[in-house]
Chains A and B, each alone.
Chain A
Amino acid sequence: MSEKVLMKGNEAIAEAAIKAGCRYYFGYPITPQTEVAAYMSKRMPKIGGTFLQAESEIAAINMVIGVSSTGKRVMTSSSSPGVSLKSEGISYLAGCDLPALVVNVQRGGPGLGGIQPSQSDYFQATKGGSHGDYHNIVLAPSSVSEMAMLTAKGFNLADKYRMVCMILADGTMGQMMEPVAIDDIVIEEVAKPWALTGTECKRPRNIVNSLYLKPEQLEQKNFERFEKYKTVEENEVMYESYMMDDAEICIVSFGITARVSKNAIVAARAKGIKVGMIRPITLWPFPKKPILEAADKVKAFITVEMNMGQMIQDVELAERCKKPVYLCNRTGGMIPSPEEVLASIEKVNGGEN
């Protein structure tokens, strides 16, 4: 058991990555995730790792492709506009079946948007986000210690399935400070016979590539990749169920808004309203099953999101429109207050929505 330290969410990601065996970080500064790079720039040289501030986000993600091809654990981090720049590279990682950890500490958008926190890259993160048929595994931490825990988990999942794993956080999660003890990090070693490590003339050469000259081959590759995605959906869903036993209203929320929602749930319960929450920890694969099961018990769902209503679509698909789904949201860098969420709960409870 290591002792507790006071860490920002961004620092917790960086330290957990190091503890998970990552020795290669390529990035480019952007508010509000700069502390990931700042922390790496201090720590990596001291442990024989590589910190490199690339000339752009595009360069950084291509460096990630290079290192990942050799089988080493590698990561990059950015915030919304920077992740858009990395998107091309993320598609190439998917097309080459390369593992990597990509962190998005979201800020307001679209365009340059603003530097304050947001969750408006949900579609981009969970629906692919770049060209081609592919998925990323998307993890949504809701505390500083989860930032660390899910970063370590993300490296394991990325290696296991040869996929990009994305940490989808937001500016508040990145900046907030909490006492954490980053221990219990388990590195699940996976053999990487596909890696470009030099043949030493002892084995046939490996090729890492996303170009398929024959359409039949590309189709076959896509079929195989989606078989793998099916396995991920069956085995890797993570969510937290909060006060759902007797709930008549189910909030669905992730990250920072799930924390706000917990306060609102406690306040609503004090007023006698039976409300609970399903907090997706994996946004892809999305926890469809618990939401479908909840649909038979509750009278309505409320998604609490810092966007114009993105995850709400996945909730509606998951519960197959059995019950109405309402949206409680703020955007532009604004965080909904517990009072706003409570007002939304009361409105849905009164049936006047």
Chain B
Amino acid sequence: MDKLKRVTLFAGHYGSGKTNVAVNYALMLKKKGLDVAIADLDIVNPYFRTKDSQKELEENGITLISSLYAGSNVDLPALPAEIYSLVDIHDRYAIFDIGGDDRGATALGRYADAIKEENDYELLLVLNRFRPLSKTPELAMEIMHEIETTANMRFTGIVNDSNLGEETTAEDVLESVEFAQKVSEMAGIPIRFTTVTRKVYDEVKDKIENLMVIHLQDKIV
């Protein structure tokens, strides 16, 4: 990858794994010794979100900015003012976890001008070919265009996060690369990395470029 951009934004179809990828990405940057903050911009899904990883993020010295109401019993699409501190002050690396689909990307539109003006960002499309509404390159492109229109920003790269949760096999990951390449060609943007769990890493490490090892958020049951 080229020089690391100061701002990395993860957007895509809901349920594609954006939050999980964003949290893992933040942890990876932190391990490199960088000062990192992560902001939860999800105004759509009040259930699974960045806040669920609060303890792990805090233990690793990563600042989490999320809605006061995240994880509560209130369904209020409010965002904290602190998010502007990541957009306007350029002293640390910032990761944005954007809500799913075009509906979730509405919140990003509010910060798009400032982020584009600074021009030191990556907007990454998180893809999971095992999600039924983004299982073909054409469907994935449809969602991509809807998000770009709403967010008023263009994607700069792809994260191939194709997975079937804990049941994901090496074959599933290998097979998904072709799908991600097709989307990459159609959209004219590169695949930045493919995610893989530790369990299947050894089986695919010599076959796929730019792998990022991730772990899954804990399940309740």
Contact = CB atoms under 8 A, between A and B. Distances in A.
B is bound to A: yes
Given A115-B73, A115-B75, A179-B165, A7 B132 contact: yes
A251 to B, nearest CB: 15
Interface string B122-142: 000000101111010000000
Contacts of A263: 221
* Dominant secondary structure of chain A at its interface with chain B: mixed
A78 interface: no
A178 interface: yes
Q: Main SS of the interface on chain B?
A: loop
A172 B132 contact: no
Contacts of B131: 5-7
A15 B75 contact: no
Interface string A1-16: 0001111100100010
B48 A6 contact: no
Interface in A218-255: none
A42 B73 CA distance: 28
Contact of A39 (B74, B133, B221): B133
A5 B48 CA distance: 19
Interface in A1-51: 4-8, 11, 15, 31-32, 35, 38-39, 42-43
Interface string A149-185: 0000000000000000000000110011111000000
Interface string B1-36: 000000000000011000000000000000000000
Nearest to B16: A6
B132 A15 contact: yes
Contacts of B73: 108, 113-116, 332-333
B119 to A, nearest CB: 33
B163 interface: yes
Nearest to A175: B47
A306 to B, nearest CB: 12
B220 interface: yes
Contact of B132 (A11, A256, A260): A11
B164 interface: yes
Given A256-B221, A333-B73, A32 B47 contact: yes
Contacts of A5: 130-132, 135, 164
Contacts of A332: 73
Nearest to B44: A34
A144 B132 CA distance: 14
B206 interface: no
Interface string B42-74: 000111100000000000000000000000111
Contact of A115 (B74, B130, B135, B163): B74
Interface string A92-115: 000000000000000010000111
Contacts of B46: 31-32, 115
B167 interface: yes
B139 to A, nearest CB: 9
A208 to B, nearest CB: 35
A12 to B, nearest CB: 9
Contact of A259 (B14, B133, B167, B221): B221
A252 B46 CA distance: 30
Nearest to B219: A176
B221 A179 contact: no
Contacts of A171: 47
A37 to B, nearest CB: 12
A335 interface: yes
A179 B47 CA distance: 19
A6 B133 contact: no
Interface in B148-190: 163-165, 167
A192 B45 CA distance: 40
Nearest to A262: B221
A43 B164 CA distance: 21
Nearest to A31: B75
A6 B134 CA distance: 11
Contacts of A38: 14, 101
A6 B130 contact: yes
Given A8-B15, A31-B46, A115-B74, 7 more contacts: A6-B130, A171-B47, A175-B48, A176-B221, A256-B221, A259-B221, A335-B221
Interface of A: 4-8, 11, 15, 31-32, 35, 38-39, 42-43, 108, 113-116, 171-172, 175-179, 256, 259-260, 263, 332-333, 335, 338
7 contacts: A5-B130, A7-B131, A108-B73, A113-B73, A172-B220, A176-B221, A256-B221
Closest 7 pairs between A and B when the two form their complex, measured CB to CB: A114-B73, A179-B164, A175-B47, A6-B130, A5-B132, A259-B221, A115-B75
Interface of B: 14-15, 45-48, 72-75, 101, 128, 130-133, 135, 163-165, 167, 219-221
